[in-house]
Chain A
Amino acid sequence: MEEKLTREEVLHVARLARIQLSEEEIEKYQVELKKLLKDVEKINDVKGYDDDILIACWDGNTELRKDEEGEMLDPKQVVENAPHHAGNYIEVPVVIGESEGA
């Protein structure tokens, strides 16, 4: 039997991606996503992967910055680069509202 994800798993991913899927697509992705995951899982075969995570190509110590003030931008410059502003504030559309109530 062909290995595949459950219907719920596909719908969960679809919800995270904020996309709607048709019935055919759900079935298709159950198989395709599983194949993809199996390919990605090959990474686990790499020896020592878990013991020594590669963070950066440089594994020495990070140089820390002294706590001294530098130059800052003029608020005018800040808002000039934004598509919209109101006074010194950058203006954007409300992204999500709070759903209030019980």
Chain B
Amino acid sequence: MANYIPTIGVEVHVELKTKTKIFSNSKNGYGQMANSLTNVVDLGYPGTLPTLNEEVVNLAIRAATILNCKIRHEMFFDRKNYFYPDNPKNYQITQARTPIGYDGYVEIEINGEKKKVEIEEMHIEEDTCKSAHRGTKTFLDFNRAGVPLIEIVTKPCMTSSQEAKAYLEKLKELLFYGDISDCKMEEGSMRADANVSIRKSEKDPFGTKAEIKNIGSISNVGLSIEKEIERQAALYDKGETFQPQTRRFDDKLQDTVLMRVKETGNDYRYFPEPDIPFVIITEEMIEEAKKGIPMLPDERRKIYVEKGVLEINANKLIQNRPLSDFFNTLLNENINFKTASNLLLGDISAYLNKEEKEIGETTLNKERFIELVNLVDSDTLTSKNLKDILTMVMEQEKTIQDIMKDNGIENITDDGEIRKVIQEIIASNPESVEDYKNGHDRAIKFLMGQVMKETKGKANPRLAMELLTEELNN
């Protein structure tokens, strides 16, 4: 295969997290009984009129801000005309000429190198109804009709599947943390199309484009781009050409398949939607929308690392929004954040996964967690003992120290008592003491083990280690 330079652009649709639909006051919901979330507007009945949901505009401004877009101050909607049963009005209300946001970017990082993925525009539109095809019949569920969407279109500025995947991961993280969408690709609340072409050299014009529609996961976006690059390269290598076309990713084949060849440009006869006159976006609306933006992942990452959390753990926390939000409530506390992050990502995550719970559904509130972090940090509660009482920590409301007492987890913090044991151990292990004095580090670990054994694990390890070192150096 000859070498080609791929050119990739990505279009993403995300459903907005509003209570009601974009142009009607029926509920915006998922997974409900078919056609139970509709009214005459969603069904496109004659004589009905759309009324624009204020929260849609608010969330779209918020998204535009997060994606570093310029925001249009005066916009309108357009009708995209087409005939298909998923939209009985025979047009979709969208924004063709005045997208709410434009000229933005998302910063991605690949192998330590930063790159800005440029966003051409983002616009507001309505989702269509969901159609399922069986044999010669199509079944329609209008619950999705009129669900608010934003479509985010990048420039053809990416050159590899890794870049496209990194962009989508970042976009998903931003929109999810921005409380704009729940971004569940498996439920269709985030959907991606990829435009792919290849050419020999950057001096050449762009190659013929194939659009891969509605890819169901970020990893499949990567895979379908790679497959498409291979397919196009194989054709060019043979001296063949192909027509601009629409393809889709087939899960079973793990490859893209042709849907239709674009014989002619689409002719949607766009014209301004006369039922929704101009929408003016004021500075106050923009300020209000910006106020609603929660702390975003990049800032969280930066703060966590500054507080001493390992970078890998900072990323893991951010992948789990409830844990990250919980962690954020602790940021002004004076605790060991490394210990806190280890606890949340270790034993506590294991418990939550096993019980299929979120941290908010347990009794582990901020105060009890701080107590736990301090007990673990001071070695008053060892990791083994924590495992024994974890369920109680997560399900009871008692203080952690009371739970420890209930379970006979004592901690000898009496200097004198521990020192006595240490002196006995030192007396009965002269060889190890000699080894230690000769610089063998392992000897102290052995002696420490003996101390813990003698105290049945009840000695406070940190204190015991301090005393042991002191005694050995006497």
Contacts and interface: CB of A to CB of B under 8 A. Distances in A.
B34 A88 contact: yes
Residues of A contacting B: mostly: loop
B140 interface: yes
Contacts, number: 137
Interface residues of B, number: 53
A19 interface: no
Interface string A32-47: 0000000000000000
Contacts of A70: 20, 24-26, 39
B34 A87 contact: yes
Interface in B264-298: 264, 267, 272-280
B404 interface: no
A78 B43 contact: yes
Interface stretch (B50-58, B170-178, B204-212): B50-58
A66 B20 CA distance: 9
Interface string A72-102: 1111001100000011111111111011111
Contacts of A60: 277-278
A76 to B, nearest CB: 9
A54 B229 CA distance: 45
Contacts of A72: 26-27, 36-39
A65 B337 CA distance: 45
A61 interface: yes
Contact of B139 (A53, A74, A90, A101): A90
Nearest to B85: A92
A64 interface: yes
A65 B19 contact: no
Contact of A89 (B25, B34, B40, B135): B34
Contacts of B40: 73
B133 interface: yes
Contacts of A71: 39
Contacts of B43: 73, 78
A88 B258 contact: no
B252 to A, nearest CB: 12
B35 A78 contact: yes
B33 interface: yes
A53 B137 CA distance: 42
Contacts of A95: 84-85, 138
Q: In the complex, which range does the number of interface residues on chain A fall in?
A: 35 or more
A49 B263 CA distance: 32
B436 interface: no
A69 interface: yes
Taking each of A16, A69, A70, A102, which has the highest tally of chain B beta carbons within 10 Å of its own beta carbon? Answer: A69
B291 to A, nearest CB: 17
A61 B282 CA distance: 11
A7 B278 CA distance: 41
Nearest to A84: B137
A102 B242 CA distance: 11
B326 interface: no
Contacts of B274: 55-56
A68 B18 CA distance: 9
Contacts of B52: 62, 64-65
Contacts of B139: 86, 89-91
Contacts of B366: none
Interface string B226-247: 0000000000000000000000
B138 A92 contact: yes
A24 interface: no
A38 to B, nearest CB: 20
Taking each of A64, A74, A88, which has the highest tally of chain B beta carbons within 10 Å of its own beta carbon? Answer: A64
6 residue pairs, one from A and one from B, having the closest CB atoms:
A70-B25, A67-B55, A64-B54, A89-B139, A88-B34, A56-B277
Given A53-B272, A56-B277, 4 more contacts: A55-B76, A64-B279, A70-B39, A71-B39
23 contacts: A15-B263, A56-B272, A59-B277, A60-B277, A60-B278, A62-B278, A64-B52, A65-B25, A67-B19, A68-B25, A72-B27, A72-B36, A72-B37, A72-B38, A73-B35, A75-B35, A75-B36, A89-B141, A92-B85, A92-B140, A93-B136, A94-B138, A98-B248
Interface of B: 18-20, 24-27, 33-40, 43, 51-57, 76, 84-85, 132-133, 135-142, 248, 257-260, 263-264, 267, 272-280
